Structure 1
Amino acid sequence: MKRSWNRLSDESRARVAQRYEAGETTTQLAKDYRVAKSTIIGILRANNVVVRRQPLTPEQVSEAARLYESGLSLSQVAKRMDVNQETMRVAIIEARVTLREPTRAKNA
């Protein structure tokens, strides 16, 4: 499914900040405004809103574990899931997935 991206008006951006400060999640806001979660986080930061920790959903953790076990690296999985690599590493460990030895960059 192709996602159609939206550009949010200044009014919508202000409403995003208000709704987030009222307790709504970045995931729900991204869904409601049909934008990426990273867009919502960017809006919040631009409005000097303190962003709460962004835990992964159980479905996201399952998908991350599946991708990692299929052979992707932690950084590749983190990029696909649009999260920080350390967040991804912790989630994979908590899912009881055995981490592979990190690969080292080869000197050319």
Structure 2
Amino acid sequence: MARRWKRLTPSERVLVAQRYEAGETSIALAREYGVAKSTILSILREANVVVRRQPLTPEQVSQAAALYESGRSLSRVAAELSLKQDTIRLALKAAGVRLRPATGR
């Protein structure tokens, strides 16, 4: 089935920027509006909104640690959590998880 792309109206785009500036996350907004996080970030950049860095929640770090410690690779954990590998690596290091040597694959 082909993916249906959703376009936000100009008023929705303004509301997205306002809600983000009020503290809502780009991930929450993307889910609510049914668009990709990258779409939300593009809307914010177009509106000249400063994008906040969004660290992983304690629950995400705990889940990542559990997956990694069960034997999954960093790249596999990142894929399962829809995050970047480096984000996972840094979060696990900061949480005190001992990282295995890279396999080089």
TM-score range normalised by the length of the shorter chain: 0.7 to 0.9
TM-score (ref. length: structure 2): 0.73
Partner of residue 26, structure 1: 26
Q: CA deviation at 1:92?
A: 0.9
Q: How many residues align?
A: 101
- SS of the residue 1:30 aligns to: helix
Do 1:74 and 1:89's aligned partners in 2 also have CA atoms closer than 8 Å? yes
Paired letter, 1:52: R
Question: In 2, distance between residues paired with 1:55 and 1:102?
Answer: 24
5 Å matches for 1:89-108? 89-105=89-105
The ranges of structure 1 where at least 4 consecutive aligned residues each deviate by more than 6 angstroms after the TM superposition are: none
What is the percentage of aligned positions where both structures have the same residue?
Answer: 59
Moved more, 88-97 or 36-45: 36-45
CA deviation string 1:63-92 (max 9, x = no partner):
111121222221222233233322211111
Paired letter, 2:50: V
Question: In 1, distance between residues paired with 2:39 and 2:66?
Answer: 26
Query: Where does structure 2 lack aligned partners over 5 or more consecutive residues?
Result: none
Q: CA deviation at 1:36?
A: 4.6
Paired letter, 2:83: V
Paired letter, 1:59: E
Q: CA deviation at 1:35?
A: 4.2
Question: In 1, distance between residues paired with 2:104 and 2:25?
Answer: 37
Question: In 1, distance between residues paired with 2:36 and 2:54?
Answer: 14
The 1:55/1:99 distance shift into structure 2, 3 A limit, reads same
TM-score (ref. length: structure 1): 0.71
The 1:37/1:102 distance shift into structure 2, 3 A limit, reads same
Paired letter, 1:54: Q
Paired letter, 1:33: Y
Query: Where does structure 1 lack aligned partners over 5 or more consecutive residues?
Result: none
- SS of the residue 1:92 aligns to: helix
